Amino acid sequence: MTKNHWIALTEESIIFLSIFKWVILSAIIGGIVGSATAGFLLLLHFFTDFSSQFNHYYYVLPVAMFLCVVLIKYVSPDSAGHGTEKVICAVHKRDGLIRLRVVPIKLVTTILTIASGGSAGKEGPCAQIGAALASSFSNLFSFSKQDRKKFVICGISAGFAAVFGTPIAGAIFGVEVLFVGTLMYDVLLPSFVAGMVSYQVAASWGVIYEYMPISLSVLPEFSPSLFLKVVVAGIFFGLVSILFIELMKMTEKNVNKVRIWEPLKAAIGGVLLVGIALIFSTDYLNLGLPVINLALRGEHVAWYAFVLKIVTTCITLGFGGSGGVLTPIFFIGATAGSFFASLFALNTVMFSAFGVVGLLAGAANTPISASILAVELFGPSIAPYATIVCVVSFLMTGFRSVYPSQIMGATKSQSLCVEKGEEIETAEHHIGYRTRKIMVSWRVVSRQIISKISHFFSPKP
């Protein structure tokens, strides 16, 4: 054999061994995370069902949020926040190092928050618990820092897949959420394997998933008019994403300015949530799954439902409650889609489904995983329309995210300069400054154009 043949053979052998290694290891991670996620979901379901037996169960919210912040502040500060954001930060800044004590504290505080009525999601804690278990597995067997980062990303994917029963979208989410506009192809295979195994293991433990395929009879035939409405819907969902992101940031900023003991602030947040429930309804507390299902069945929901859900989620997470943001995003998207459809006399079922995935694409900067999620949740017939909605919403949101630790991998517009490799929170500040400079230059140019036109049409002496 020639030297080139030996080189080719060696290359293929290395690739084969790498594939074999990561299929085995990521399957192990998927099994661990799937079991842990199943345990969390079953416990959450049990305690949520138990608390809902009492008419005024949400009265305990101030105490529950107080206890959550005490546990997080004095036992595991790494457990603060809504889960996925902390994992993204750990991957980018600490080579995927996450302490194992995050697992029990995140599990307890999230169940306390949601079962007592806090408006939060279940995917963020599962992603953080999965990532912490994956990180600990890597440390136990002394893997390299680079391998540990891959394990943590597999933990994110496995957690997402097991929570929603969407292994493909979960796998893509794990490799898409870390960077804006870039996929981590080197983690694609482990992520897929971990997501698939995690989903199957969670299902075998008794976790039940609900899917709502939209029949072809609900979807109208393609037309230029429908295409335009879908694009406008994407713009609308992008604007709703901006509203949610900005209110989240504003709430957190203003709460941090209040100089009182943090557990006491959390109790005040609980009181505010109790007030909202008494004035409006308990529909905007907890996960909000019944309202999501109403919207996706085309039944009536309050036109302001998405606004109130934004408010209750911002209060819950801003004041120190524990939980994720994606389930609230699904609620906001479904009800915003219902509102949009009612405004223009459109199909409520179809646009509520668009809202679920459109808000995910815009708020989390994950258009590909959101598009795949549409197929897994609602069936393949919705895919062409949902993809347009997701991409438009993603672009419309600009350089904002519910995960400010995301790294800029690409720009969304050539007219906006952004340094790749910056965190999205820092990049947004730079963009704001550059945008002002662009606006000033455009004003100068427009004045010159107007002056030339005026001079051309002015009467000659």
User: Strand, helix or coil at 180?
Assistant: strand
Could you give the CA distance from residue 120 to residue 305 in angstroms, rounded to a whole number? 15
Token pair, residue 332, equals 């906001």
The tokens of 115 are what? Answer: 């079962």
**Whole-angstrom distance, CA of residue 336 vs CA of residue 355:** 6
CA-CA distance, 426 to 403, in Å (whole number)?
12
Instruction: Report the candidate in 396, 339, 336 with the shortest Cα–Cα distance to residue 362.
Output: 396
The helix, strand and coil proportions of the chain, stated in percent and rounded to the nearest 5, come to 75, 0, 25
Instruction: Specify the pairing of strand 407-408 against strand 179-180.
Output: parallel
Distance CA 356, CA 400 (A): 18
pLDDT in tens, the chain (461 residues): 565 655 555 777 778 888 889 999 999 999 999 999 999 999 999 999 999 888 899 999 999 999 999 999 888 887 777 777 888 888 888 888 888 888 889 889 999 999 999 999 888 888 888 889 999 999 988 889 899 999 999 999 999 999 989 999 989 998 999 888 888 888 899 999 999 999 999 999 989 887 776 655 567 777 888 899 999 999 999 999 999 999 999 999 999 888 899 999 999 999 999 999 999 999 999 999 999 999 998 899 999 999 999 999 999 999 999 888 999 999 999 999 999 999 988 889 999 999 999 999 999 999 999 999 999 988 888 888 999 999 999 999 988 899 988 888 777 766 666 667 677 777 655 555 455 554 445 455 455 555 654 554 455 54
Residues 6+ apart with CB under 8 A from 217: none
Question: 250-270: string of b/e by CB count within 10 Å (b at 16+)?
Answer: ebeeebeeeeeebbebbbbbb
The tokens describing 228, both together, are: 């335009």
Q: What's at 185, amino acid-wise?
A: Y
Instruction: State the Cα–Cα distance between residues 166 and 158, nearest whole angstrom.
Output: 10
Task: Please give the pLDDT value at position 91.
Answer: 86
Contacts 24+ apart (CB under 8 A), 378-382: 378/211, 378/212, 378/213, 378/214, 378/353, 379/213, 379/214, 379/215, 381/214, 381/215, 381/216, 381/219, 382/214, 382/219, 382/350, 382/353, 382/354
Tell me which residue has tokens 């646009």: 351
Helix axes 305-318 and 224-257, enclosed angle (nearest 10): 30
- 3-state SS assignment for residue 413: coil
Domain 224-408: CATH superfamily, name plus number? Clc chloride channel (1.10.3080.10)
Taking the CA atoms of 221, 225, 230 and 236 in sequence, report the sign of the dihedral they define. Answer: negative
In one-letter notation, the amino acid at residue 128 is Q
Nearest to 66, CA basis, from 267, 319, 255: 267
The answer to pTM > 0.85 is yes
The C-alpha angle with vertex 143 and arms to 141 and 146, in degrees rounded to 5, equals: 155
> Residue 96 has which token pair?
């995927």
Identify the sign of the CA torsion 270, 271, 273, 277: positive
> Residue 98 corresponds to which amino acid?
I
DSSP tag of 57: G
Q: Whole-angstrom Cα distance, residue 170 to residue 433?
A: 36
- Cβ-contact 218, 347 below 8 angstroms: yes
Q: Can you read off the two tokens belonging to residue 324?
A: 């994720």
Please report which helix (H) or strand (E) contains residue 407, including its range: strand 407-408
**What is the CATH code for 3-204?**
1.10.3080.10
- Closest Cα to residue 81, out of 428, 256, 325, 364? 325
